[in-house]
A and B are shown apart, each in its own frame.
Chain A
């Protein structure tokens, strides 16, 4: 019984990972890529870890796995926030159909140049 629950969780996790990486490839903008891929891949990896812990079913592995899951849940959000803030401050342009830019409106940064439809500069 534990085996089937664990396998179901692992399959769900791999599907979430694949959808997050498709978002990483297909979306047009670094900010869109951050918000799609970080959430999906973190949920997928968490599901894979929970499934493998359910399948192993030992106490020491469960304790270490819960520590690993909490660490991933905290640090990936922090890393994604740091990356998007760094990208905004270093002037990576938004997609030309983006409608709002609250960080530039706050006046904390000079704001990236809004590109007008052509390819993003390197």
Chain B
């Protein structure tokens, strides 16, 4: 890895993704309805998958891709459960 990319570009990318996470957390804390919070949680899960991919490039450890895959899966299941809860049915129907 060159000096310029490792010293300047990757911190900038990580800062950009942290900005995304901060905006999602703002919407989770602020959002006027419960649906806003659920949308922000879903988007936060997708952003974290990209974050794990960047950390994988930085450290060169390929097992972090499994972490990203499992994170996407758990986020999807959690979002569907929350959407089901929002409609008003019980979760075991």
Contacts and interface: CB of A to CB of B under 8 A. Distances in A.
Interface of A: 3, 6-7, 10-11, 13-15, 17-18, 20-22, 24-25, 30, 33-34, 37-38, 41-42, 44-45, 48-49, 51-52, 55-56, 58, 60-61, 64-65, 67-68, 71-72, 75-76, 78-80, 82-83, 85-87, 89-90, 92, 119-120, 122
Contacts of A67: 69
Interface string B28-72: 000011111011101100110110011011001010011011001
Contact of A45 (B13, B33, B50): B50
A112 B35 CA distance: 13
B17 A14 contact: yes
Given A18-B16, A87-B33, A79 B79 contact: yes
Contacts of A55: 57
Contact of B23 (A25, A56, A65, A86): A25
Interface string B4-22: 0100010001001101100
B39 A37 contact: yes
Instruction: Give the top 8 A-B pairs by smallest Cβ distance, nearest first.
Output: A87-B35, A48-B50, A21-B23, A45-B50, A75-B76, A86-B86, A86-B83, A82-B83
Contacts of A52: 53-54, 56-57
23 contacts: A3-B5, A17-B20, A18-B16, A18-B20, A24-B23, A24-B43, A30-B36, A30-B39, A37-B39, A37-B43, A45-B53, A52-B57, A56-B57, A68-B69, A71-B72, A72-B49, A75-B73, A78-B80, A79-B79, A83-B82, A83-B86, A86-B86, A119-B32
Contact of B24 (A10, A21, A65, A80): A21
Nearest to A65: B65
B65 A61 contact: yes
